[in-house]
Amino acid sequence: MRGIAFCTEGEHIRNYLLTKTVSKGKTSGGKPFLTLMLQDKSGEIEAKLWESTPKDEADYVPGTIVLVEGEITTFRGKNQLRIRDIRLATDGDPVKKADLVMSAPLAVEEMMEKMTRFIFDIGNPVIQRLTRAL
């Protein structure tokens, strides 16, 4: 699956994304819509869910994983996702939140080991003790 940050205008996508933020709005004609900020490990994109329902407002809340299908468009110089189809991810879907959140390129244990080595390489014993305490 290609990251959302690498998609280009006109591209059709079908990806699992994490709902970062949601805001409600009304069109000039009075119809409700939702603006969703969706993300994966590569970045985020704004998406519009037109003619949203109260069920949509209840389902699509921050922290939920969705399977979304649509086209990448550009609005005011920024990519935006025009949603064609969207649904909540289920337990049977092959995705976890950790798959969609930016993270360090190394495992926690490996980073701790490197940091500990750097601390013990500090020559001044006072600074070393102070650094270990912090």
In which band, very low, low, confident or very high, does the pLDDT at 113 lie, cut at 50, 70 and 90?
Answer: very high
Could you give the domains of the chain? 4-100 (2.40.50.140), 104-134 (no CATH)
- CB 25 within 8 Å of CB 35: yes
Residues above pLDDT 70, as percent of the chain: 99
Mean local confidence (pLDDT), 101-126:
88
Q: Which helix (H) or strand (E) holds 81?
A: strand 78-88
* pTM exceeds cut of 0.85: no
Mean pLDDT of the chain: 93
* Burial class for 69, CB neighbours closer than 10 Å (0-12, 13-18, 19+): middle
Q: What are 6-22's pLDDT values in tens digits? A: 999 999 999 999 999 99
Q: What are 74-105's pLDDT values in tens digits? A: 999 999 999 999 999 999 999 999 889 887 77
pLDDT of residue 17: 96
Residue 1 has pLDDT above 80, yes or no: no
Residue 4 has pLDDT above 70, yes or no: yes
